[in-house]
Amino acid sequence: MRKPYVSGHFYPSNPDALRDKIAWAFTHWNGPGYIPEIKKIAPQQGIIAPHAGYDYSGPVAAFSFGSLANSGRYDFFVVIGPNHTGLGSAISIGNEDYLTPLGVARVRKKAIDEIQDDLIVVDNLAHAEEHSVEVEIPFLQYIYGDVEIVPIVMMDQSLEAAEHLATRLRRLSGNFTIVASSDLNHYLPLPRLRKLDGYFSSAVLNRDIKAIYRYEYSGEISACGFGPIVTLLSTYSGKVDLLKLSNSIEITGGETGVGYASFTVGRV
């Protein structure tokens, strides 16, 4: 069992307080403004959602998860985040169930067996202290109840790695969707943050993968989960929609902040 690492820090450790915090994110003035219900009123889709503390990024993340609820039910969720810790393998799958204050998100062992190969390996060390996957799971549990997941952490976020993982995901069987976990630019004053987040968001909307890597490798832009984002764009070929673009300064104030965006990516 993988125990929560940022519970009580990024989000409340008490189950009732956590449910209240997620409801707060959905009804926040900078959030979607409603509590979602599972309805099949939109096509199947993957989402891009931020992974900071809920006080900062929760209202933006709520846009993604609310839209996901409108696309119906899924048997399991592939949650892909960047590796912030430097621990583990290049692309690490966790095969331990994830415990959160809302219960146990069980891993989909059959899917793990289908995905793994010489590059994509089971390595729980990469997950033990990594928050980028963990913070997405309570949102899924809040909406769907008991969920099954395939947690993946990318230390190697190169184009080759993202395309390789996407190839494996395109062959994966079952009714699943993908959650790509990423914040946008980090620790910038508001005018520059808005400008660079706008550049990056335009690249995602236009599926301009070359621009995404040009921005990242130049050091100008610091979206931490660009590999998971490109993996999603390379797996699903449908329309990309930007639901919300904001940042921590707009939500909590401060001289510098971190950018957050909510996207949906149609499956076909």
Is there a contact between 57 and 67 (Cβ–Cβ < 8 Å)? no
pLDDT digits (tens, 9 = 90+) for 203-233: 999 999 999 999 999 998 999 999 999 999 9
In single-letter form, the type of residue at position 219 comes to G
| Angle, CA of 85, 260 and 100, to the nearest 5° | 55
Task: Please give the single-letter amino acid code of residue 157.
Answer: Q
Hey, what CATH class is 15-266 in?
A: alpha beta
User: Residues 6 or more apart from 145 whose CB is under 8 A from it?
Assistant: none
Q: What does the domain layout of the chain look like in residue ranges?
A: 15-266
Question: What is the model's pLDDT at position 100?
Answer: 98
In the predicted model, is pLDDT for residue 4 greater than 90? yes
Q: What is the pLDDT of residues 30-87, one digit of tens each?
A: 999 999 999 999 999 999 999 999 999 999 999 999 999 999 999 999 999 999 999 9
Q: Do the Cβ atoms of 139 and 54 come closer than 8 Å?
A: no
Angle subtended at Cα 258 by Cα 35 and Cα 98, rounded to the nearest 5 degrees: 55
Q: How many residues does the chain have?
A: 268
Give the span between the Cα atoms of 218 and 258, in whole angstroms. Answer: 19
